[in-house]
Amino acid sequence: NSRNDSGGLKIDLHLMMERPIDWLDQLVSLSPDRIIMHAESDQADKLLPKIFDYLAKFQIGCGLALLPRTAPAEVSELIRLADSVLIFGGRLGYQGGEADLAQLEKVAQIKQINPGALVEWDGGAKPENVAVIAGAGVMQIDVGSAISYSADASGAYREIVELANE
């Protein structure tokens, strides 16, 4: 990747913080491919459009994350501006938890608001449910504990990729 020295890896930063604007210059200096910010962050309706414009000057993608309590219709203007929308289907602070698959209903709502957005999932993805998540139209699935807690991390990764692509 020409923008960062990550050895060709794409780096996304998922900011789980109230005031991402306070860290913006430091984050831009890291040259990530994308920065994902929460729709529930402080003054998101006012600040995120400005942050998205600022990041575009550096060719950094803008992602919007939605907690389970946030309906896409409530933040439709932000979804329209985002390159990607991450549906958080887990429980914050509890890696290895269960996926709330009821959150998958948001996929169609997001695509109706912004058909070009990359739809992502984070929370509770594992071999037992990854095909359902992918089948609902999620294009990128963030997997943590199902890989990191596995005795064979590379095997777990391969299995999850295979199941998601079925």
Domains of the chain, each with CATH number or no CATH: 12-164 (3.20.20.70)
Grouping H, G, I as helix, E, B as strand and the rest as coil, residue 121 is strand
Identity of residue 164: A
∠ CA 96-98-100, nearest 5°, is 140
Q: What is the pLDDT of residues 70-96, one digit of tens each?
A: 999 999 999 999 999 999 998 776 677
Identify the sign of the CA torsion 57, 17, 136, 129: positive
Residue 4 is predicted with a pLDDT of 56
Residue 1 is predicted with a pLDDT of 35
The segments of the chain whose pLDDT lies below 70 read: 1-7, 93-94
Q: What is the pLDDT of residues 4-19, one digit of tens each?
A: 566 678 899 999 888 9
CA–CA gap between residue 125 and residue 131 (Å, rounded) = 9
Provide the whole-model pTM: 0.90
Closest CA relative to residue 34, chosen from 81, 83, 75:
83
Residue 92 is predicted with a pLDDT of 72
